[in-house]
Structure 1
Amino acid sequence: MSVNFEVKRTIKASQQPVYSSLFDLDAARNWMQGFVRIERLDDAPVQVGSKWLETRKMFGKEATEHFEVVELNGTDKIVLRCDGTKGTTGKGEFVFTYTLVSSGEETEVTLNGEINGLTGLTKLFGKLMVGTFSKACAKDLDALKSYLENGKNEYTLNQSFKG
């Protein structure tokens, strides 16, 4: 059984820059909440099969998770898989599906999150924590929105001092 959540944001930018910002690992430091570093596990351009370690500061501590690109569909869809067994989480599988729909100079980003592989008490804990995951993803999309709509902005700069 999986635990699911959804976050939507409309960004005042065309689809290509939104897609590029979600997909550009080097640019993540410009908007990602609690960003510490990203370590690529391959040398090829980011594509299906690309893997990296993403480290963020969460709850005052560094947490590193193992990500992989599992699906790309033009600039319409990005599916990332986080293998919790290889990271700080230690359990589960987290799938993040970003769907982008453009309407002129606006792009609606829908993030569908899915948490799989939790059993016993961690399954119950996962159900209780889905709100926390959803809020964290919403903050990321808010930061991306602010970054794209305002360029290098106070929102991103201010958040970097809170971690």
Structure 2
Amino acid sequence: MVDVVRSFPVSRPPAEVVAYLADFSNAVAWDPGTVRCERVDPGPVQVGSQWHNVSKVLGRETELEYRLVTMDSDHVVLRGTNKTATSTDDIRVVASPTGSTVTYSAHIEFNGVAKLAEPLMQRVFEKLGDETVEGIQRELGAP
């Protein structure tokens, strides 16, 4: 399994941060690996909302079906699955004097033979974690 955690400030208040990050279609703007992310169900973003995500990692595209599993005033959890992996993005948001502090935890569990790539993928996702912070701060402001 691969685990990456980053904690960083943004200049927006928690309610705006949670709303923005819970709508996973916004990932195309801030996630360096996301090529496309399209909502596949109608209505407001809420627990149960779903997205089809196409990401590119190490030059290879992969598709995951994401579902919003938690959306509270300070906590968002999105889970993406395909036959190779399950990716869980666990995001906590707390108020700060300059906006919010975001703690973004990415947990990827590989299945079958893909588990053999975990040591390499840990390094790849550590770099993507740094780029994700840059992307979120670009979109939500860095104090």
Q: Normalising by the residue count of structure 1, what TM-score does the alignment of the two structures yield?
A: 0.72
Hey, what does 2:5 align to over in structure 1?
6
- Aligned CA-pair RMSD: 2.4
Gaps of 5+ in 2: none
Structure 2 residue 115 is matched with structure 1 residue 115: no
State yes or no: 1:53 paired with 2:52: yes
Q: Where does residue 148 of structure 1 map in the other structure?
A: 140
Within 5 A, what are the aligned runs for 1:28-39? 28-33=27-32, 35-39=34-38
Contact 1:9 1:142 in 2 (8 A): no
C-alpha separation between the residues in 2 aligned to 1:94 and 1:45? Answer: 23
C-alpha distance in structure 1 between counterparts of 2:25 and 2:106, whole Å? 23
Alpha-carbon distance in structure 1 between the residues aligned to 2:3 and 2:57: 21
- How many residue pairs get aligned? The number is 142
Among candidates 72, 80, 95, match of residue 78 of structure 2: 80
User: In 2 relative to 1, CA 133–48 (structure 1 residues): closer, same or farther, beyond 3 Å?
Assistant: same
Q: Secondary structure at the match of 1:16?
A: helix
Letter in 2 for 1:70: V
Q: Does structure 2 conserve the Cα–Cα contact (< 8 Å) formed by 1:7 and 1:134? A: no
| Residues 137, 66 of structure 1: alpha-carbon distance in 2 compared, 3 angstrom cutoff | farther
2:116 alignment partner in structure 1:
124
Structure-2 change in CA distance of 1:110 and 1:142 (3 Å)? same
Unaligned runs of 5+ in 1: 86-90, 151-163
Deviation by residue 1:31-71 (Cα, 9 ceiling, x = unmatched)? 44355432222112111111110224544554432111111
One-letter code of the match for 1:47? Q
The 3 A distance-change label for structure 1 pair 130 and 56 is same
Give the conservation status (yes or no) of the 8 Å contact 1:12–1:105.
Answer: yes
By relative contact order (CA 8 Å, sep 6+), the higher-ranking structure is: 2
Residue 44 (structure 1) aligns with: 43
Partner of 1:65: 64
